[in-house]
Amino acid sequence: MNLILCIHNHQPVGNMDFILEDAYKGAYLPFFEVLKDFRDIKVNLHFSGFLFSWLCEKKPEFITLLKSLKNQGQIEIVSGGMYEPVLSLISEDDGCNQIKMHIDLMEEVFGDKPKGLWLTERVYEPHIPHTLNKAGITHTLVDDNHFKAVGLKEDDLFGYYVTEHEGHKLAIFPGLEFLRYSIPFKPIEVLDNYLKEADKKGHDLAVFGDDGEKFGLWPGTKKSVYEEGWLKGFFEYLTENQDWLKTVTFSEYLADKPPKGPIYLDCQSYKEMGEWCLPPTLSKQYAAAISSEKSDEGTLLKGGYFKHFLVKYPESNDMHKKMLAVTRQANNNPEAKKHVYMAQCNDSYWHGVFGGLYLPHLRASVYGHLIEAEKRLDSEKAFVEGKIEDVNLDSVDEAVLVNNFIKAYFCLKEGGSLYELDYKPATTNVMANLCRRYEGYHDKITMASVNDVADGTKTIHDMFVAKEEGLERFLHYDWYRRASLVDHVMGKDVTWESFYRCQYYEPGDFVKEPYLATLKKEKKTASLSMKREGHVWMGGKRVPLTIEKTIRMNVDEAALYVDYLIDGDVKESFLFGVEFNFSFLGSGGDRYMDMGTGKLPLTSKGIYGPSQKILLFDPYQKVAPVIEFDRPISIWTFPVEVVSLSETGFERNYQSTMCMPVWEVDLTAGPRKIHIKLVVNGISSHNNVQ
Query: Active-site residue numbers?
Result: 121, 211
What is the Rg, in whole angstroms, of the alpha carbon atoms belonging to the chain? 28
Question: At residue 375, what is the residue type?
Answer: K
Kindly give, in sequence order, each residue whose CB lies less than 8 Å from that of residue 45, ignoring residues fewer than 6 positions away.
Answer: 6, 7, 9, 66, 75, 76, 77, 78
Q: Are 235 and 225 in contact (CB under 8 A)?
A: no
Which regions of 404-474 does DSSP assign to beta strands (E)?
406-411, 417-423, 428-429
User: DSSP assignment, residue 501?
Assistant: T
Distance CA 130, CA 108 (A): 25
Q: How many CB atoms lie within 10 A of CB 132?
A: 26
Please list, residue by residue across 82-101, b when 16 or more beta carbons sit within 10 angstroms of its beta carbon and e when fewer do: bbbbbbbbbeeebbbbbbbb
Kindly give, in sequence order, each residue whose CB lies less than 8 Å from that of residue 352, ignoring residues fewer than 6 positions away.
Answer: 272, 273, 275, 276, 645
Q: Are 599 and 616 in contact (CB under 8 A)?
A: no
Q: Are 304 and 352 in contact (CB under 8 A)?
A: no
CA dist 579 → 43, 418, 419, 477, 653 (Å): 54, 10, 12, 17, 21
Distance CA 145, CA 295 (A): 12
CA nearest to 679, candidates 482, 430, 481: 430
Q: How do 559-568 and 116-118 pair as beta strands?
A: unpaired
Q: Are 249 and 46 in contact (CB under 8 A)?
A: no
Q: Are 304 and 275 in contact (CB under 8 A)?
A: yes
Q: How do 168-175 and 161-165 pair as beta strands?
A: antiparallel
Distance CA 325, CA 45 (A): 34
Question: At residue 469, what is the residue type?
Answer: E
Kind plus residue range of the DSSP H or E element containing 663: strand 649-665
Number of helices (H), then strands (E), in the chain:
20, 28
Helix, strand and coil in the chain, % to nearest 5: 35, 30, 35
Distance CA 681, CA 312 (A): 33
Kindly give, in sequence order, each residue whose CB lies less than 8 Å from that of residue 105, ignoring residues fewer than 6 positions away.
Answer: 49, 52, 53, 82
CA dist 295 → 157, 291, 374, 463, 609 (Å): 16, 8, 50, 22, 61
Q: Would you tell me the crossing angle of helices 360-377 and 334-343 to the nearest 10 degrees? A: 160
Question: At residue 488, what is the residue type?
Answer: H
Distance CA 153, CA 327 (A): 41
Alpha helix segments (H runs only) across 24-136: 29-35, 49-58, 60-71, 92-110, 128-134
Distance CA 216, CA 210 (A): 13
Q: Is 166 left (phi over 0), alpha (psi -120 to 50) or beta?
A: left
Kindly give, in sequence order, each residue whose CB lies less than 8 Å from that of residue 596, ignoring residues fewer than 6 positions away.
Answer: 611, 612, 613
CA nearest to 177, candidates 145, 133, 152: 145
Reduced to 3 states, what is the DSSP secondary structure of residue 304? coil
